[in-house]
Amino acid sequence: MRRLLLLRHAKAVPATGRDDHARGLIERGRRDAARIAAMVAAEGLIPDLVVHSGAERARETAAIVAQAWPQPVNARVEPALYDASPHAVLAVTRELPDAAGTVMIVAHNPGVADLANALVGGGRRSDIARMANKFPTAALAVFELDAPAWRDVAPGSARLLRFATPDDVRLAGV
């Protein structure tokens, strides 16, 4: 059983038309990333590997979540995740190392949201509907996959275990 955690980067400084890749997080984004990290730890979802796009906002989000966990987690940059289509995010997913049973991908919309919605083959209807309606910054979709290898992940092949936003976590007191 594999687990895929798709995390949209946290809230960043507004785009100014300059170097989009260099946009960092605002304070709210840092707080939201920490809330999601606490939920991941509390629910025993800490991944074996974190993969992010390398853009400053994704890198910073990945660093904040990883620092909040009790054990170190390997992280790597995958430039193909920057401004990626859902097909590109899926291609990165299919190339993940099979030794990693649980992986978190930190990337950008619309690719993350579109892939999350495409992967759904089951799960709680209310979570599926919420995720389809809006995938805000620092939102997290947690999927369970019966795929024997990452290369076998396909649209409709995953069960959505959890869809969480920073507001959900704040309201739950995590």
Residues near 153 by Cβ (< 8 Å), separated by ≥ 6? 2, 4, 90, 93, 94, 119, 145, 147
In 3D space, the residue among 38, 60, 48 whose CA is nearest the CA of residue 140 turns out to be 38
Whole-structure pTM value: 0.95
**CATH, residue 111:** 3.40.50.1240
pLDDT band at 21; cut points 50, 70, 90? confident
The pLDDT tens digits of the residues spanning 69-107 come to 999 999 999 999 999 999 999 999 999 999 999 999 999
Predicted confidence at residue 30, as pLDDT, reads: 97
Q: What is the mean pLDDT of residues 108-113?
A: 96
Question: Is 6 a residue whose pLDDT tops 60?
Answer: yes
Q: Which domain holds residue 167?
A: 2-13+19-172
Token digits for 26? 């605002």
Number of domains in the chain: 1
**Cβ count near 50 (within 10 Å):** 23
Confidence tier at 1 by pLDDT (50, 70, 90): confident
